[in-house]
Amino acid sequence: SLIQFYDEYIQLYKIEKLMPPSNITVNCDEIKNYCIIQWQQPQISHSNKDKCFKYEINMKYKVRGISSPTFTINTYEGGNSHTFQRSNTRKKYLLKMRAAGSACFVSAAWGEWSAPVEFGK
């Protein structure tokens, strides 16, 4: 009898788990009360275009040692920076980021969260 083959093609990008954005830095302008968050896109083997990713920034702050609930800054596509308006320059902020694919054969699943980055007073 004939041998039945069961071939299945796996698109590896669909099962790839993304690493978090790297080299996350925050630079604040104390006079204008805004901060610029910058990062490098996750490293993947088959593309180096930043437009392939969307990002989520998760942030909380502390005032006098009391931690706020976590809030999320909009997810947005492309780019490698975000300007964040601070309402109070006396707060100490803690942020983390993650990425997901939005095009370019990159997994649409959210990747790992970055290590927390602390900034502010």
Give the mean pLDDT per block of 10 residues along the chain (121 residues): 76 79 89 87 70 86 71 75 80 88 81 90 74
- Report the DSSP beta bridge partners of residue 118: 94
Give domain limits for the chain.
12-109
pLDDT at 47: 60
The CB-side HSE value for 47 (13 A sphere, CA atoms) comes to 16
Helix boundaries (H) for 1-121: 12-15
Q: Given this model, what pLDDT does residue 48 score?
A: 60
Query: What predicted TM-score, i.e. pTM, was given to this entire model?
Result: 0.77
Could you tell me the fold of the domain covering 12-109?
A: Immunoglobulin-like (2.60.40)
